[in-house]
A and B are shown apart, each in its own frame.
Chain A
């Protein structure tokens, strides 16, 4: 069995950034295990631009953004294995993996970084009634077919879900020769960026139907049409509002779920809101020496934030391997509570003595808020009150806490993040 200081599960944006920062923290023995044929993960199929504004102060496409990190991994001689699937990880950090060349093999790690990313929610999760013919794709599958295989899944398309992937695919399909008839969104607002609504839908006169859903799929062999209906405030279809669309394809862009089968298998505790591991300020999971970052931890809106978060995970894993991260049992732990309007926070706990000088707490809001404040309470004292013009569930928010202020009051136990009206 081979030994590594750090084994990183996944060679997408999270795994790459974690590997690079671990190497910069002077860890020599690092291995990235990637299941696909190339590094870069889902970025390889995200050929649109808009990546990297925070990280590189320029607008890159997905493959270009990935390439910047892949080049660094190559330059730093970080080991990786492609086409390699991880089958199992034990709580003692023995990793069982498999590929064509080496067959089944095991690796012992001192620290593990979980960076497996996320997957799309399938149709079944929505229980959309109707037939099950060819022509129903999740947006990401269609994206792969179009952007990487050069295949057009359909010619007349309806898209359910107006998150960014759905919007981006509306434009991509249009530019490859399909007619996108409508994008339906169950919620009264789009989960996507305004820029994508304007540049992916409005530019091509594609209607966005808010508070609408698909209530029937027709066609026995191939999709022949779908029925949309308006929904009420509870998301229930309103009788009499049905509209039929003749189409050969239905694309579903209805949410992402962190891929935590391996985490669950090794006994990592998961958060029921994010479906990702519960982590502390060091992005360490409930298992010592096991860290998580990127979309496997919580679904991000921008890859730049994935890179930043993953770099922190890499640094912390390196500190753990070098024995520089104080044991959790020996230091004080604060609880981070999500109050009014905040769906979750990452991390969920903070050991001030283990944190960097500054810690970014990331979260999402539960609905659209205008002219409100993000507040942080340290027990009963309000220590942050940051005005935001607008906040929406589709965009990740953050607030920064400093080590100094958290160490100032040794008796305090809890930090609450909430949204407050003006």
Chain B
């Protein structure tokens, strides 16, 4: 009995980490669909979210909610600056150059964060206390509930945005065929910028809601970013349900693997899954296979 309690516990914590991976994966997918770029700096926006919130909270003594809003705003601004300075000027850049530039941006942001905030880990207070809740023999923190709820809200909101708003539709059009989209008067440039804005905003939100559970530091972005990418790749780089399932699946597998096999290899699990999928089914588990045209 105790064993199954434990498994429920693992699954719960896996789901909560998995929600975060799904959100980060969303960020990857949104930029990828708009530009064909895999933004290696995606994880840094997650880090920025957590660190900036703590910064506003501690240094300016602002209330939590104000700090969060400001943190998301600043992280989004960083995303905009990045797109403007490093992505937009490159026309017809090779994928190799884009990989190198986004990696450069990633370590630049990380390094700047280290200079500003130091190498220590910081904690963000939980949104509503730390009194554990009990569920089917497993304990859960209120923050886990916040994570589930906010993840659901963010995903619903982006779904609505892409499905019904004029900007969302335009972005989907660009992703489908950017030439045709520009012919009907959609500004592809604006849509690319918008994709960087949305994805850095979602990324920073993910970083904020996870920060009370995991602590946060200048270098947390790499691992989270890569796991988010893993979630997106399981989902076939769609900004839809596939990525959500991918994230949750990854979170559960990781948490079960860490609990039942070895905690030291916890991070390796995500990367082994990542490699297996890239090797065996690069279009994703839930993605459709496309015919490549020369």
Tell me if chain B binds chain A: no
Q: Which residues of B contact A (CB under 8 A)?
A: none
